[in-house]
Amino acid sequence: MEKYYLTTPLYYVNASPHIGHAYTNVISDCAARFNRLNNKEVFFLTGTDEHGEKIKKAAEQAGVDTETFIEEKVLVFKDLWKKLHISEHFFIRTSQKFHVDVVQKAIKFLSDKGDIYKSEYEGYYCIPCESFWTKTQVQEAGGCPECKRNIEKIVEENYFFKLSKYSGWLKNYIRDNPDFIKPKIRYNEVVGFLENNSLEDLCISRPKRRVSWGIDFPLDDKYVVYVWFDALLNYISGVGFGTDKDKFKKWWPADIQFIGKDILRHHAVVWPVMLKALDIEPPRTVFAHGWWKIEAVKISKSKGNIVNPLELMEQIGADSLRYFLLREITIGMDGNYSWEGIVNRINSDLANDFGNLIFRVLNMTEKYFQAKVNCPVEWRVPPEFAPFVGDSDLKQAYMKSMNALDFPAALEKVWGFIKIMNKYIEDMKPWILWKEKDIEKLCSFLWSLLEGIRIVSVYIFPFMPRTACSIAGQLGCRLDESRISLDMSKDYNVYWTRKSFETKKGLPLFPRIDVN
C-alpha cells in the first residue's frame, strides 16, 4: 500500500486558535481523508509549538504560570480538532521529551559536523513574530516586515547554523524539483528570493537572560534553542526520527507539508537546509496556502480581527464550516471571510441543492414505498446519470481535482450530479407516475436517486465526514470509515448485491440560515 504522510504547522499556544488555523487543518484533513479513500496508508501530524518568549509573556498577561497556561491552550486546540472532525494520527507538542531529545541531538550532530559556530549577533528581533530581520528589511518596512511593530536592535553572542554553506545546494535542489514548493506562485517567490539575496547563517540560540522559555541549548547552558529551529524538527521527530528507525523509514519524506504563505521561507529555505545538513531527504512538497482576510486585512491574533471557529460551529455546525472553507477558495489563493458569504454558500449549495434533494427522495420513499425500496429486477442506470455513476466521468474529474488539491473544482463536479438529480425529479414527475400507479417505473426512479445519493455521500466524505455518515444512515447503509473506498467499480458492485434501501429520515441535514 502506498503511504501518504502529511503535516500541518505547529500552532503557537500564546492564544486560542482562529479560523485561519482551522482552515489549514481542514484542508489537511480533507487531503488525508481523500488519500485514505484512495487506498493509501496515511499518517497525519498536527500539534502545538510551545516555546518562545511570546508564550511566556501571554501567560504572564493572563496571570497564570506558563505550564498551566499552555495546558489550557493545548486543550482548546485538541477540542477544536475533535469538534471539526480532524482525523490526525498524532498530536505532537514541542515540549514532549522525545522531541526535546531530537532537537538536542540534532544540534550536537550539526556541531560535530562543523555546521554550528559561536559569534556576535547584531540585528533586529521581533518577539511576536519570533523572527530576525536585517537592518534593510526593518528600514524598508518601517518596523517588523511581518507585523509592522517597532523592533529593537540587539547585539549579543550567539550560536549560528551555517545556512549559507548550503545555498548552492538549495538553489539546485529547488530548480531540479519543481514540485517541492507549491503552488507555482510560491515556488517563483522563493526562487526570486534566492536569486536576489545571499543566504545568511541562521542564529539558532537565545541567551537565557533574554529568552528563558525554550529547549536548553545542548552546547551551552546559558542559552535556549531558537523556537523555529526546535519546532521545524517536529516533522521528523513526530514520525520516529531518533526513537523508531522503522517508523521513520516508513513515513519520511513527508508527501505534503501544508503551511500558510506567512511561513514559506522557514519551510522552503531553512527547513530543507536543516534536513540536508542532517543527511535527511527534504519533504516531497511544501504547499503554502493563502490567507483568510476580512475586508482585505489578514485575519490574525496581532490584528485583533479573529473569528472564533468554535463559536461559528455552534451556529452553523462543523461540516457546514468545513464545506464553506473548502468550497469558497482555491487553496493557494486568499479568501474573503464574511457572514454573508457563509449564509449564501450554506443556503444555496447545502440547504437548497443537496438538502432538498435528500429530503424529497426520502419523503417519496416513505410515501410511495413505506421507506423500503427493493432493487428493481430490470434496473438500468438512467442515461442522465451515466456520467456520474460507477467508474464515470465524474470519478475521473473528481480524482483529478482532488489529486491537484483543487477542492472547489471537485465539489463543483459533485454538485453537477446533485443538480442533475434534482432536474431528474422534475422531468420524471413522480407524482404522475404515482397517480397512474406505474409502480415499476416509480421504483426504478427512486432506486436510481437513492443510489445516486449514496454515491455522492462517498464523494463528499473527505469534505463533510459526519454528514456523509448520516446520509448513509438515512439510506439504511453503513458508511464504514475504515473500509470506505473510491474504488467505485468495486463499490458499485455492492449495488448489484444489495437488495433494498430501507430509509430512516433524520433531522434536516442542513437547516437554512436565517439571513437576518
Q: Count the site residues for ligand ME8 by CB under 6 A.
A: 20
Q: Which stretch binds ligand ME8 (CB under 6 A): 195-203, 260-268, 411-419, 426-434?
A: 260-268
Q: Which stretch binds ligand ME8 (CB under 6 A): 16-24, 30-38, 279-287, 359-367?
A: 16-24
Bridge-partner residues for 125, per DSSP?
132, 152
Binding of residue 12 to ligand ME8 (CB under 6 A): yes
Q: Which stretch binds ligand ME8 (CB under 6 A): 21-29, 72-80, 84-92, 238-246?
A: 21-29
Applying CB under 6 A, among 262, 384, 391, 412 the residue interacting with ligand ME8 is 262
Distance between CA atoms of residues 125 and 153, nearest Å:
7
Which of these, 361, 416, 337, 360, lies nearest to 384 by C-alpha position?
A: 416
CB of 258 to ligand ME8, least distance (A): 7
* 99: its cell numbers: 522531541
Binding of residue 84 to ligand ME8 (CB under 6 A): no
According to DSSP, residue 280 is labeled -
CB of 403 to ligand ME8, least distance (A): 22
Are 12 and 74 in contact by the 8 Å Cβ rule? The answer is no
Applying CB under 6 A, among 4, 23, 217, 226 the residue interacting with ligand ME8 is 23
Helices and strands counted in the chain (H then E): 22, 17
Are 510 and 346 in contact by the 8 Å Cβ rule? The answer is yes
Distance between CA atoms of residues 469 and 472, nearest Å:
5
Binding of residue 126 to ligand ME8 (CB under 6 A): no
Say if residue 462 is exposed, middle or buried (CB neighbours under 10 Å; 0-12, 13-18, 19+). Answer: buried
Which of these, 60, 65, 52, lies nearest to 13 by C-alpha position?
A: 52
Pairing between β-strand 131-133 and β-strand 116-126 as defined by DSSP bridges: antiparallel
Are 229 and 202 in contact by the 8 Å Cβ rule? The answer is yes
Applying CB under 6 A, among 259, 274, 428, 477 the residue interacting with ligand ME8 is 259
* Closer Cβ to ligand ME8, 260 or 355, answer by number: 260
Applying CB under 6 A, among 4, 11, 159, 510 the residue interacting with ligand ME8 is 11
Measure CA 339 to chain center: 22
Length of the chain: 516
Applying CB under 6 A, among 5, 160, 213, 292 the residue interacting with ligand ME8 is 292
CB of 309 to ligand ME8, least distance (A): 11
The amino acid that residue 99 corresponds to is: H
Q: Which residue is nearest to ligand ME8 (CB)?
A: 20
Q: Which stretch binds ligand ME8 (CB under 6 A): 32-40, 206-214, 259-267, 489-497?
A: 259-267
CB of 273 to ligand ME8, least distance (A): 15
Binding of residue 9 to ligand ME8 (CB under 6 A): yes
CB of 289 to ligand ME8, least distance (A): 7
Say if residue 82 is exposed, middle or buried (CB neighbours under 10 Å; 0-12, 13-18, 19+). Answer: exposed
Distance between CA atoms of residues 274 and 161, nearest Å:
9
CB of 124 to ligand ME8, least distance (A): 19
Which of these, 249, 243, 218, lies nearest to 103 by C-alpha position?
A: 218
Sites for ligand ME8 among residues 229-248 (CB under 6 A):
231-232
Distance between CA atoms of residues 22 and 299, nearest Å:
12
Q: Which stretch binds ligand ME8 (CB under 6 A): 9-17, 84-92, 187-195, 442-450?
A: 9-17
Place of cell 521561507: 265
Sites for ligand ME8 among residues 28-67 (CB under 6 A):
49
* Closer Cβ to ligand ME8, 231 or 286, answer by number: 231
Q: Which stretch binds ligand ME8 (CB under 6 A): 239-247, 272-280, 298-306, 325-333?
A: 298-306
Binding positions for ligand ME8, rule: CB under 6 A: 9-12, 20-21, 23-24, 49, 231-232, 259-260, 262-263, 291-292, 298-300
